[in-house]
Structure 1
Amino acid sequence: MDVPAMRANFAKAAATGDEAPLYFYSHLFLSHPEVRAMFPVSMAHQRDRFFTALGEVVTRVDDLDTLVPILQQLGRDHRKFGTLAAHYPAAGASLLATLEHFDDEWSPELAKDWTDAYTLVAEVMIAAAEEAAEQPAWWEADVVGHERRTIDVAVLRVRPRARYDYLPGQSLSLETDLRPRLWRYYSPANAPRPDGVLDLHVKARDGGPVSSALVRRVGVGDVLRLGPPMGHLALDPDSDRDLLLVAGGMGLAPLKAMVDQVARHGPARRVDLFVGFRTEDDVYDRTDLARLQEENPWLTVTYAVSEDKLSSLEQGDVGEVVLRHGPWTSREVCVAGPAVMVEDTVGRLLQHGVPPRRMSSEVFAPSRPGPSVDGEVTE
């Protein structure tokens, strides 16, 4: 398998922006119109998801130890769409047609390599889905609390009707009847607890159909659907090192779940949580974080604001503020937030001397706009 050639081929398709995903789905729906009903009305966000996932595969195609768990998660997750083993060949044919269409140097060798790679991907995903057949494809969950924290942020408390296991730091996909077939990812902000309730932090995004509905229209008594947990952001279960947790904006949720995990289950350790926002008015969880800090003397919470010169909170990007309080070279580190913030913070900490093996990170980015809350389709 010529991995460099495959990456170069994929880069040509990815460089076209929307054109390659649009070609893929057009080919798929024209050749297999029966699958169109499995997808949302607006394909804007779905197009992004497809090429993001494919990019993950291409990046790790020669690192099966990392790739296989990702594919297994995707296989289990795709059960919620009604995906069957019979659907995979159709998607594979459309993928090869797309990659060929955007590469003037397409060759039989590339076709074979991509066929072999896709066959492996499909086999792993199908096997994972079959192994999860005894579990629900999705979980219905009742909204038992809805608290507006700011004009555009709400904390939803949801209780799955069946047992829902996850690790603090993981994400879950969520669907509401207000926006059918539009699944969005959120991280529980608490560790699993006896009552089964999950706290979800949601920010309404401009043009964000699901987030806007969750913040402004969903209420107590409504029912949501949850997909299986996903993601690799988690504490090392074999480590008792002190923790450095760095959040930007809504990336606070998974890191707060880790704090909750330490509070509930240990092991005893120091935890420094840094939370960055643009302005002090954006700090939506201050009261509850103050409660956690008061109840747990091992926890220190520090806020940073990057665009609020009148605030008494620490000034600067959160990664910059973190380094003012070092050294951190002995810590286990988790970073979550917007892509620019994660890249900047991880880069600073690597330069500071934190070993890469003790640092994990996850990007929390808003989904691409789809239908508005009023049902209008936006691009």
Structure 2
Amino acid sequence: MVEPLAGEITVYFYAILFARYPEVRPMFPQGMDAQRDRLLRSLLRIVDLVDEPESLVRFCGHLGRDHRKFGTLSAHFPAVGECLLDTLARYAGPAWTPDIAAAWTKAYGTVAQVMISAAEQDEAVRPAVWPATVVRRVSRGHGIAEITVLPHMAYEYAAGQYVSVETPWWPKRWRYYSVANAPREDGTLTLHVRAVVGGSVSGALVHRAAVGDVVQLGPPMGDMVLDAAEHDELLFVAGGTGLAPVRALVEEVARRGGRHQVELFLGARTVAELYGFDDMLRMAQRHHWLTIRGAVSHEHIPGIRGSLPDVLADYGPWYQHDAFLSGPARMVDLARETLTHNGTPARCIHHDPFETPVLSTP
């Protein structure tokens, strides 16, 4: 009922939160647009999952662990709950009955407790953030840079996962990037970053970051990992900087002795934008189990032409494969539809979350 007023609701919520509890304001970035959007989507996701207890607990656990990097404490939850319920009551009007108020009060208490418990369990085993020094920066053209960082403390993750990054130039603004390598002995991580229009964090990483700069990393997240596969036959599909987690997965297959057969499709609009293709070709020359194909959708050239979803349909079926998809949301959506239509079980299709990952995990 209040969703059509989402913009007003989130503005009002943060206004009364900061007015009543000014001590929490420093935890947030100066620009609040992205934060308001995240609040709304988290609330909508909680409502969507209300009849799926396991999924709801899992989602709220993700939120709780992710909020540690903001400095969130258990004492903050009652203040947020008070302001949130007052906001909903204001905008729901007569629909905010005693029964509805009681239900939301109980629901918020449950969500808060799950988040607090997840954060406390996480705190017992690892830090909230990891400082990391930039040790290498390579420009790939077309607004893309490879940023390699060395965390100051041991950073455990699995190939295919993603991390949140905060730069010194935009405090409190965290953005998510996939790690482009399997775990290395030297502990370094390489991120593929594209400078998006209006993107403060991506722009800073691509155009401003230099060796010696220190960024902050949040905990590793994501389930697009090799252990999720049911089959020995794997299909990897990557568009643009979606190559990053796919490259990490290819390295992980190699680390495990090449027990899988891997078909890799890389896609771009033009040949010039088909970044990373040469590197992956060299990997295919070293590993007999890896086959790589590049597809271009907006340029007439010899070889494969067309969008990745169309190319997948031509080369399929893939119903005996586990598929790992990474890239623009539209591409991933269409590729998933193509694979499902041609018989690939949904449980065997793995992909990166869209937008803010912690709010979008399937």
TM-score w.r.t. structure 2 length?
Answer: 0.92
Matched residues in 1 for 2:91 and 2:265: separation? 44
Unpaired segments ≥5 residues, structure 2: 358-362
Q: Which residue of 2 aligns with 1:130?
A: 120
Matched residues in 1 for 2:30 and 2:143: separation? 25
Matched residues in 2 for 1:278 and 1:18: separation? 35
Cα-to-partner distance string for 1:33-73 (whole Å, 9 max, x where unaligned) = 11111000111221222222223322222222223233222
Cα-to-partner distance string for 1:195-247 (whole Å, 9 max, x where unaligned) = 11111000001110000000000011111110011223223357342111222
| Deviant stretches of 4+, over 6 Å | none
Secondary structure in 2 matching 1:149: strand
Structure 2 contact 232–259 (Cα < 8 Å) conserved: no
Structure 1 contact 342–363 (Cα < 8 Å) conserved: no
The partner residue of 2:342 within 343, 352, 364 is: 352
2:215 matches 1:257: no
Q: Say if 1:315 and 1:226 are closer, same or farther in 2 by CA, change over 3 A.
A: same
Q: Which residue of 2 aligns with 1:147?
A: 138
Which shifted more, 308-317 or 333-342?
Answer: 308-317
2:18 matches 1:18: no
The partner residue of 1:39 within 28, 33, 46 is: 28
Matched residues in 2 for 1:236 and 1:61: separation? 29
**Structure 1 letter corresponding to 2:227:** D
Q: Which residue of 2 aligns with 1:61?
A: 50
Q: Say if 1:257 and 1:53 are closer, same or farther in 2 by CA, change over 3 A.
A: farther
Unpaired segments ≥5 residues, structure 1: 1-8, 368-379
Q: Say if 1:195 and 1:136 are closer, same or farther in 2 by CA, change over 3 A.
A: same
- How far residue 89 of structure 1 moved from its aligned partner, in angstroms, is 1.2
Q: Say if 1:59 and 1:275 are closer, same or farther in 2 by CA, change over 3 A.
A: farther
Matched residues in 1 for 2:304 and 2:37: separation? 36
Superposed counterparts of 1:247-326, under 5 Å: 247-266=238-257, 268-306=259-297, 308-326=298-316
Structure 1 contact 174–225 (Cα < 8 Å) conserved: yes
Structure 1 contact 144–158 (Cα < 8 Å) conserved: yes
Structure 1 contact 240–268 (Cα < 8 Å) conserved: no
Structure 2 contact 155–187 (Cα < 8 Å) conserved: yes
Q: Which residue of 2 aligns with 1:120?
A: 110
Q: Say if 1:246 and 1:101 are closer, same or farther in 2 by CA, change over 3 A.
A: farther
**In angstroms, what is the RMSD of aligned CA positions?**
1.9
Matched residues in 1 for 2:280 and 2:292: separation? 7
- How far residue 355 of structure 1 moved from its aligned partner, in angstroms, is 0.9
2:244 matches 1:241: no
Matched residues in 2 for 1:30 and 1:311: separation? 60
**Structure 2 letter corresponding to 1:123:** Q
**Structure 2 letter corresponding to 1:343:** D
How many residue pairs match? The answer is: 355
Structure 1 contact 173–226 (Cα < 8 Å) conserved: yes
Matched residues in 2 for 1:328 and 1:22: separation? 47
Q: Which residue of 1 aligns with 2:38?
A: 49
2:320 matches 1:330: yes
Identity percentage of aligned residues = 45
